[in-house]
Amino acid sequence: MKIGRLLLRTAVGGFFVGHGTQKLFGWFGGSGIEGTAKGFEALGLHPAKANAVVAGAAEAGGGALMLAGLETPVAAAVLTSTMLTAIKTVHFKNGPWVTNGGYEYNVVLIAAALAIAEVGPGPLSLDAARGRERHGSGWALAALAGGLLGAVGAHLSAAANRPPAAPESVNGAGPEQQAPSAPATQSA
């Protein structure tokens, strides 16, 4: 199973590095920080630019850790968090199937990351080379819990930083074009 775990880590970690660097630097056809921030703004992830940086760094950093087989449970937690956030903000409303823009692929990536956390990165990893290969059901569950906490934190932060709603208009007129309201009368 030396090669299987290495191939899985390479695929999962490598593609996450690619997605993160698309967000951070615009590499591989990505839109960079500014473009990602515009997309996050539309999704309601406030502050959009900060969330774009954090998402890009989490994907690139978590992917690099997974690719190297270094601190594998931490990598699995970070990647799980980004995928849970993507499911909540983008894919869940579309149902499970990826052909409809659903969350199927995100769930597969979460399962792969957590499976690696459970079985360990393998002997061809930096964790093994350092003699610090942490794995097992407890580590996989800890990675899942860390991913859930990270996703909840992202959603709470977005809700807390949501800009105030614009005042409602009357008959399509903006607040500066509305007639002043009549003074309230007091009744006895």
pLDDT, tens digit (0-9, with 9 covering 90-100), for 15-54: 999 999 999 999 999 999 999 999 999 998 889 999 999 9
Confidence label for 165 from pLDDT (cuts 50, 70 and 90): confident
Summarised one tens digit per residue, pLDDT across range 110-124 is 999 999 999 999 999
| 176 occurs within a structural domain | no
| 180 occurs within a structural domain | no
Query: What integer pLDDT is reported at residue 128 of this predicted model?
Result: 94
| 184 occurs within a structural domain | no
DSSP letter at 121?
S
| 97 occurs within a structural domain | yes
pTM of this prediction?
0.84
Do residues 84 and 96 touch, judged by C-beta distance below 8 A?
no
Q: Please tell me whether residue 98 adopts helix, strand or coil conformation.
A: helix
**Pairwise CA distance, residues 36 & 38, whole Å:** 5
Query: What integer pLDDT is reported at residue 187 of this predicted model?
Result: 47
When divided into structural domains, the chain yields a total of: 1
| 175 occurs within a structural domain | no
| 149 occurs within a structural domain | yes
Summarised one tens digit per residue, pLDDT across range 87-108 is 999 999 999 999 999 999 999 9
Residue 46 corresponds to which amino acid? H
Q: Which residue range(s) make up the domain with 123?
A: 2-161
Q: Give the count of beta carbons closer than 10 Å to the beta carbon of residue 19.
A: 20
DSSP H or E run through 77: helix 72-86
Residue 144 corresponds to which amino acid? L
Q: Is the peptide bond before 167 cis (omega within 30 degrees of 0)?
A: no
Confidence label for 168 from pLDDT (cuts 50, 70 and 90): low
| 178 occurs within a structural domain | no
Q: Please tell me whether residue 39 adopts helix, strand or coil conformation.
A: helix
